[in-house]
Structures are given as C-alpha cells and as structure tokens.
Amino acid sequence: MRVQRMSAPLGAIIDGVDVRRLGEAEFADIRALFQEHQVLALRGQTLTPQEQLAFGQRWGELVRHPYAGMKAYPDLIELKNPGKARDINQHWHSDMTYNRAPPKLTMLYALETPGIGGDTAFANQALAYAELSEGLRRVVDGLRAVHSAEGLAGQYGADPGQAPRAEHPVVRTHDETGQRALYVCRAFTRRFVGWTREESAGLLEYLFQHGARPEFQARHSWRPGDLVLWDNRCLLHFAVHDHGDAPRRIHRLQVAGPAPA
C-alpha cells in the first residue's frame, strides 16, 4: 500500500490496494488513514455494484437516499452528467444533513470520467471552526440550526411539504476523534433555531463563505476506477462542473452515522 497526501488541509491518495481482498488488519489500516486524512482516494479499483455495496457495509449500515437510487440497487445512486444548468450539486454541502442522523461517510466509485475537469473539492470544517475568532466560537457553540430537504424534494418532483428536516448543533463534536467542526451548509441549512430566516441570513452567509476558504480545501481529480470516501461529519464538498457535456458516471452510497452532538 502506497499513501500520498492529497493536500495540506486534508486527504490521501492510496495505490496498491484491492478493496475486495482487504483482510482485517489492512482494513484497520484504511480506517486509521480515514480518521487521519478525512478523504481517501483508492486508485485502480474494479468493482461491481455488489462489491461496492459489500465494501460500504464494512464501514457500517447503509443509508438510502430519500429521492434517488438505482432500481436494481436502491442503496446506490448513479450520478451522471446532466449538464451544468441541471446540476443540483453546484454548491458546498454535507450530504443529507436533513436526516436526524446524517451519514458519517459517503463513498463514490468512478466508472467513467471526463478527460479533464469534473473534480470534487473538499473543505475541512474542523480547520474552519478553529480559525473563527474566540468571540464568534462562543456564539456558534450555543446555536442549533434547522436543516431541510424541501429544495431537494422539488428538484426530484416530490412534495416539499413532506421533505425530511432535522435540527443539529452548528458546531458538532466528531464521535470518533473528538474534533469540533462547523456543521452548516448552503444546500440544506435554513435558519438558526429560535431565529427567523432573515435574522439568520447574515451569520449563515458568513459561515458558508468562511467554511469554503481556499486554505481549508483539497481537490480530487478523477480517473476511472477511483473509489473515494470522505468523512461527512467534518467536511463540505463541491462537485465542480467545468467539464461541459463530457461523460461522468459515478456510483454513490452513504454509511449511517450518529445524530450530531
């Protein structure tokens, strides 16, 4: 196994591993690297949907998306290039924060990638929290926020009034590492609990922009066969749509995590 850091703020690229054949000791090494780097990109995988699902289940129970899923494999989502105007991922976000217990881990397996472009960017929210002033940390430490999938529901033709929603702390403590991290995102965070949307807007906008500062970021450039997994508890991500209509086909799954605390 060969490990190369992806960037200073986060991430590692791993070669020489076949996830279908990992023994318990090797899997423990991968788990330790995941906690250290928050994003792992395992190059050169050759996986069927069943094999990706099996590897995902080694990390925990799988979480099904409320609106998307392959007919034959409902725990997998097939992501294709819909064209930039129809791409619903053009924002920094953490996956499925509208769930009471959002997934701890998201895993993408690339089957087809553009010759250039189509990167996924990540931003380390533990670093973002640490870089807040002491005064602002005291403010956000005491806040909770409302997260909702109503906008997502409309994009899938579902009833926004029935969309899942949840309340979470604005700063969550990682259940395995103990790190504190910002936990808001432009996609799903609507307002602070006890505040109106108008009152929440200014501070939320500051936190959205602060959390995506370049010095907190890493980018992964995809190749076919890449298996990328990231820690949804302490990262934001952004699918960069700079590849026009070039094909991009990826299979996604999520692994269950605890309710944020």
The residues carrying an active-site annotation are: 93, 95, 237, 252
Residue 251 corresponds to which amino acid? H
C-alpha–C-alpha distance, residues 213 and 221, integer Å: 19
CB 96 within 8 A of CB 226: no
Helices and strands in the chain: count of H runs, count of E runs: 6, 16
DSSP-derived pairing of the beta strands 180-182 and 171-173: antiparallel
Tokens representing residue 22 in the block: 């990992």
C-alpha–C-alpha distance, residues 194 and 72, integer Å: 43
| Residue entry with tokens 């423990």 | 28
Taken as a whole, the chain contains a residue count of: 261
C-alpha–C-alpha distance, residues 180 and 93, integer Å: 17
- Provide φ and ψ at 122, rounded to 5°: -130, 150
Residue 181 corresponds to which amino acid? A
